[in-house]
Amino acid sequence: MPLQLLQVGEPVLRERVRELSREEILSDRIQGLIALMHETLRDAPGVGLAAPQIGEGIQLAIIEDLAEYSRDLPPEEVAVRERTPVPFHVIINPRIVSYGEQKVEFFEGCLSLAGFMGLVARSREVVVECLDEQAKPRTIRASGWYARILQHEIDHLNGTIYIDRMDTRTFASVENYKRYHGAPTRASSD
């Protein structure tokens, strides 16, 4: 059964949450939580989900961008977004250790701010150091849409929501985004 997605205004969404120890990561509780988060992400649907969004104040997020989420986009839009499928994976205690110099702007949404979108500038490339679900160190070098997803989810773990970074004049309901800017994709939401 999917977990409840918290909406903006919940205090945990504005907190820098705590890191997990190796023992916690390997515990049945956290392994079960990862499975429930994956089910919740697929049910939403979205491309990323951070633990604070389900009320857990821990440095844990999951990412998965399925090919089917962009199949209705024109090929040129997929290309400009540099969007490719990203298999399911877990990031724990992540840190962005390098940002690329180039910034790109695209509309984003959030499962914790349902029904709205805004234009957000983010680095086109990032390098992230984290632990995986087995508490093993991992370095992720990402570009394009994947880099955007990582930045969005890591922001959640630091108490930041995309509305803190957006061009406020572009904030719109999903319906008005569709009307004036085109159809959003599931990857527009975390």
pLDDT number for residue 140: 98
Determine the Cα–Cα distance for residues 140 and 161; give it in Å rounded to an integer.
22
- Can you list the positions of beta strands (E) in 124-165? 125-131, 137-143
Q: What is the pLDDT of residue 41?
A: 98
What's residue 181's pLDDT? Answer: 82
Any idea which residues carry the catalytic annotation? 153
The b-or-e profile of 64-76 (16+ CB within 10 A means b, else e) is bbbeebbeebeee
Q: Is residue 190 scored above 80 in pLDDT?
A: no
pLDDT higher than 50, residue 189: no
Rounded to two decimals, the pTM is 0.94
In this model, does residue 44 exceed pLDDT 80?
yes
- What does the pLDDT read at residue 185? 44
Q: Which residues contact 120 (CB under 8 A, 6 or more apart)?
A: 105, 106, 107, 108, 148, 162, 165, 166, 167
**For residue 127, with 0-12 CB atoms within 10 Å meaning exposed, 13-18 middle and 19 or more buried, which class applies?**
middle
Q: What percentage of the chain exceeds 70 in pLDDT?
A: 96
Cβ contacts of 159 within 8 Å, gap of 6 or more = 13, 14, 15, 16, 17, 52
Question: 40 with 51: CB under 8 angstroms?
Answer: no
pLDDT tens, position by position, 74-121: 899 899 999 999 999 999 999 999 999 999 999 999 999 999 999 999
Residue 184 pLDDT more than 70? no
- 145 φ/ψ angles, rounded to the nearest 5 degrees: -60, -35
Residue-level pLDDT at 178: 87
Q: CA dist 179 to 79, 162, 167, Å?
A: 22, 21, 19
| pLDDT for 132 beyond 50 | yes
pLDDT digits (tens, 9 = 90+) for 146-180: 999 999 999 999 999 999 999 999 999 999 998 88
pLDDT of 1 reads 86
Which amino acid makes up residue 72?
A: D
Domains and CATH numbers, the chain: 11-188 (3.90.45.10)
Report how far residue 69's alpha carbon sits from residue 81's, in angstroms, rounded to the nearest whole number: 13
Which of 3, 18, 104, 117 is CA-nearest to residue 49?
3
Q: Mean pLDDT across the chain, nearest whole number?
A: 94
CA distances from 135 to 56, 81, 138, 140 (A): 18, 31, 9, 15
